Amino acid sequence: MTQALSSCTATLVNRVLEEPSRLDRVIFGSRQDPFAMTPSERDHFLLDVVVDSLQHHVRNNPRVASFFARHNFSPESLGRLADLDTIPLLSADVYKRMRVTSAADTPIVRSFTSSGTSGAVSRIERDNLTLQRLSGSIRQAARLLEPWVPRDVNDEDLELVNLGPSREEAGEIWFAYIMAMAEIIAPSTYYVSGGVSYLEAAADAVMERITSGGLIGIVGAPFLLFELAKRFLSTKKRPKAHERLFVITGGGWKRNQAQAVVPSTLRAMTVEAFGLVSESQIRDGFNQVELNSIFFECDYHRKHVPPWVHVTARHIETLKAIPAGEAGLMSYVDASAMSYPCFFIADDLGTVSADPCPCGRTGPTVTYHSRIARQQAEGCSSKLDAKLTDRRRK
Ligand SMILES: [Zn+2]
């Protein structure tokens, strides 16, 4: 996967950046593992790149400049890591209501919308660098998936079974785009077409690949993995994949929430259904359209936050930052987004852990809890609107 992408990103860095920034050297670099920085290195790096990013948005986005001014906030006031929690944050709802681009001089390459299970959708415009940094983020996060997702695999060694819709079929839908990014790993075959899921064909492909001795990756939403696993568990004809299969899930259960099982149950089912040797072969990833980075699980099923993103859980009523280890509304400051301001409070409930992960990587890890009930979320959005946005002032 990474050989092809490395040359691609190297070309990109040379083409787009005369002098790559410190952030780009880390996102696009292949030598340094961003998750292996020392805690002190990580803190300094995060602070530096966030200040750079916020200064960029102030310069290129008058809405951000006036938003910060109204909050008497200046990026230059950020002197230590704890100060990052003082950054005024947008409500994720802002992206649904207005165009918030910071791309004054750079063309928008693609505009993405959220999957929109209900109501209005977010629209996020990405320029070339922002989009390439997202790819870089996925490549770096894929380090967490080793050795199951090998870094130096040849295309012919690996085949991906993608349980989600193809990018073309899904249009601009963000989740499908992220799923399709798996194509940077290896050739993919899609098993959803015309809105119909072809799990039987996916099951056949898995059996055939395992029987022929190849390596296979399954990519898809948890509910589709659940259905595929159930299909194998209901029959004696199951693959015995051992070490030759890995699974990457993402996107949550969405409309299938009623059938949702806890992640550990899904992993146990998957190990049995495919004849795997370890639950470590099954990893979940988190991303949302407003966020320009992806968080993958490590061996210990903890989602690691890359060092260019600051994540804080916030009190559901007061929106104040709460201590690590307590559940709250997730908020993000992602320094990798150039073409739009990426500092916002989401409507996901989660917990940020500062405890060292047994895998040895540095930085916080996050756990997401069930999607906040819609009614509750709308209540929160109203509060966020009142507190954080300038709708009535414009
Ligand atoms: Zn870990």
CA 286–ligand 1 middle distance (angstroms)? 15
Query: Whose CA is closest to 346, among 291, 295, 308?
Result: 291
CA 216–ligand 1 middle distance (angstroms)? 24
CA 304–ligand 1 middle distance (angstroms)? 6
CA 215–ligand 1 middle distance (angstroms)? 24
CA 361–ligand 1 middle distance (angstroms)? 6
CA 38–ligand 1 middle distance (angstroms)? 14
Please write down the long-range contacts of 167-173, taking CB distance under 8 Å and 24 or more positions apart: 169/193, 169/194, 172/110, 172/111, 172/112, 172/113, 173/113, 173/115
CA 336–ligand 1 middle distance (angstroms)? 22
Specify the 3-state DSSP secondary structure of 366. strand
pLDDT value of residue 207:
94
CA 305–ligand 1 middle distance (angstroms)? 10
DSSP state of 304: E
CA 355–ligand 1 middle distance (angstroms)? 10
CA 299–ligand 1 middle distance (angstroms)? 6
CA 187–ligand 1 middle distance (angstroms)? 28
CA 152–ligand 1 middle distance (angstroms)? 22
CA 35–ligand 1 middle distance (angstroms)? 9
CA 135–ligand 1 middle distance (angstroms)? 21
- Rounded to two decimals, the pTM is 0.86
CA 193–ligand 1 middle distance (angstroms)? 36
pLDDT, one tens digit per residue, over 109-141 is 888 887 555 567 888 999 999 999 998 998 899
CA 270–ligand 1 middle distance (angstroms)? 21
pLDDT value of residue 174:
66
DSSP state of 281: G
Enumerate residues with CB within 5 Å of ligand 1 (an ion): 298, 300, 302, 357, 359
In the block, residue with structure tokens 């940020």: 352
CA 306–ligand 1 middle distance (angstroms)? 12
pLDDT value of residue 293:
95
CA 126–ligand 1 middle distance (angstroms)? 30
Distance CA 31, CA 133 (A): 17
Q: Which residues of the chain have pLDDT under 70?
A: 1-18, 115-119, 150-156, 165-176, 179-181, 184, 370-394
CA 307–ligand 1 middle distance (angstroms)? 14
CA 278–ligand 1 middle distance (angstroms)? 16
Instruction: Report the largest interatomic distance among the alpha carbons of the chain, rounded to a whole angstrom.
Output: 66
- Tell me the DSSP string of 210-266: HHTT-EEEEEE-HHHHHHHHHHHHTSS-----BTSEEEEEES--GGGGGG---HHHH
Query: Whose CA is closest to 250, among 309, 195, 179?
Result: 179
In the block, residue with structure tokens 């299970």: 117
CA 351–ligand 1 middle distance (angstroms)? 15
pLDDT value of residue 65:
97
pLDDT value of residue 371:
58
Query: Whose CA is closest to 309, among 292, 322, 297?
Result: 292
Specify the 3-state DSSP secondary structure of 177. helix
